[in-house]
Amino acid sequence: MEISASDVKKLRDRTGTGMMDAKKALEDASGDFEAALDLLRKAGVVKANKKADRTTAEGTIGSYVHGNSQVAAMVVVNCETDFVARNDEFQQLAKDLAMHVAALSPLYLSREDVPQELIEKEQGVFEEHAEAEGKPANIAQKMVTGRMEKFYAEATLLEQPFVKDDSITVGELIQSAVQKLGENIQVSEFVRFEIKGNSNCQLNFPTE
């Protein structure tokens, strides 16, 4: 199958991978862009995991203040070297993550950070709902699992759809940066501020 240069470029722009890797992924996926994207995402997870144990002693603090000066966020993003910490793409990543936190207000960094008592409470509520609907046990369990996955996607930063591109999660955005910059990148802390009287205000955040 002939793979077009435009498809290769589109895939490279989307994932940050090299030309040959992008072309091979498209060939392996028989030209299916979304399938090729999935292949590279899976490969990206492997690459990111290989770097995950490296020490991240450098980094930057990304900040964002919304135009109405009523909502703001700060995110600590760590990397391995000062060279990458000063890189424009890394700095932009930190800013984007701060804007995302301001927009979607995650409660936890990852599902591992969610308190066990809250997990059990949520599961209990979902199980009660499934039982009330009279679903068979196997179907009820699948419903509970699906609803818990949705809960994690709403509550945890790494599993939320990225505010500027909801086709990827924040975790996948960071993995893409790991591939581009070649270092372990971790979010260690984040905080969101909001003027309480702003709760009914319509907030519009920029998207790509």
**CA dist., res. 81 & res. 89, Å (int):** 14
Residue in 193, 187, 118 with CA at minimum distance from that of residue 154: 118
Which bin fits 59, alpha (ψ -120 to 50), beta or left (φ > 0)? Answer: left
**CA dist., res. 29 & res. 33, Å (int):** 7
**CA dist., res. 99 & res. 157, Å (int):** 12
The stretches of 29-165 forming alpha helices (DSSP H) are 33-51, 82-85, 88-104, 116-132, 137-155
- Output the CATH code of domain 115-154: 1.10.286
The structure tokens listed for 176 are 């893409």
Q: What is the pLDDT of residue 86?
A: 93
**CA dist., res. 108 & res. 4, Å (int):** 41
Where exactly are the structural domains of the chain?
Answer: 5-51, 58-109+156-198, 115-154
Q: What is the pLDDT of residue 206?
A: 65
Q: What is the pLDDT along the chain (208 residues), one digit of tens a residue?
A: 678 877 887 777 666 666 777 888 888 888 888 888 888 777 664 455 555 566 667 999 999 999 888 999 999 999 989 999 999 999 999 999 999 999 999 999 998 899 999 988 988 888 887 777 777 777 878 888 888 889 999 999 999 999 999 999 999 899 889 888 888 899 999 999 998 765 444 556 666 5
CATH of 5-51, one of 1.20.140.10, 1.10.8.10, 3.40.50.800, 3.30.930.10: 1.10.8.10
Task: Fold for 58-109+156-198, please state it.
Answer: Tetrahydropterin Synthase; Chain A (3.30.479)
Q: What is the pLDDT of residue 201?
A: 47
